[in-house]
Each structure stands twice: as structure tokens, then as C-alpha cells.
Copies of this chain bind each other. A is one copy, B any other.
Amino acid sequence: MTLSESVVSRLKFDSHGLIPAVAQDATSGRVLMVAWMNLESLEITLRTRQATYWSRSRQELWRKGATSGHTQKVRSIEIDCDGDTLLLHIDQTGAACHTGALSCFDTGGYLLEEN
């Protein structure tokens, strides 16, 4: 799938050609991770419904779970009001986090706790 010009024109990629993508568990609502997509990874994600990101550290396409098996099936993708963020509703296989935790936010701890 090649994104139509009209869709691409609604998306605001940053100066590195990237857009942040929030991956949210479609069932529990837990935010699992935030990663980045470039146009190519977004097109692959749309075509395959398997979340594919751009790895900023490795500077390469990163099909989530390609090595770990912890893939993300994408149910839907929403765009925000100004087109500079994506929200993916996904079905996560296994753990989203490389640490083995379900969510990347399960491991970093709280900067501020409920009072």
C-alpha cells in the first residue's frame, strides 16, 4: 500500500522524517510503548497490520517481534488533531518490552505516585 497524497499531506513527520506512535493494548487499554515510524514503516504497517517501526538507535526498519516473536497485530490507527502523532490499537503477543515486561511502562517505575 502506498499512502495517498491526501493522507500523507495530513501527517506531520518531524525533521528526521519520523512521527511518534503510541501503541495501546486494544483490550486492556494499557499503553505498552511509544516508538517512531517513518513513512516506509507506516506503509508496511498498514499493508501487513503488523506494527513496524523505525529504530532510531539502529537506524533501520524494525518489525516488532521479528526476532522475539512478540509481534503486534494492529487493529486500528488513529491520527491526532494536528496530524503529528499516531495511536495504534494493537493485540500484543507476549511482552511489548524488551525487558520481558508486558508494557515498557511497567519497568521504569513512577516519577510521581498517586497521593
The interface of chain A, by Cβ under 8 A from chain B, is: 7, 10, 20, 22, 24, 28-31, 33-34, 45-46, 49, 74-83, 85-87, 97-99, 101, 104-105, 107-115
Contacts and interface: CB of A to CB of B under 8 A. Distances in A.
Contacts of A49: 112, 115
The 10 closest A-B pairs by CB, nearest first: A29-B29, A79-B108, A80-B104, A77-B112, A77-B111, A78-B105, A34-B85, A81-B107, A81-B104, A87-B105
A39 to B, nearest CB: 12
A31 to B, nearest CB: 6
24 contacts: A22-B34, A24-B31, A28-B29, A29-B30, A34-B85, A45-B112, A74-B112, A75-B114, A77-B110, A78-B105, A79-B108, A79-B109, A79-B110, A79-B111, A80-B104, A80-B108, A81-B97, A81-B99, A81-B101, A81-B105, A81-B107, A81-B108, A82-B104, A83-B108
Where chain A touches its partner, the secondary structure class is mixed
Give the number of copies in the complex.
Answer: 2
Contacts of A80: 33-34, 104-105, 107-108
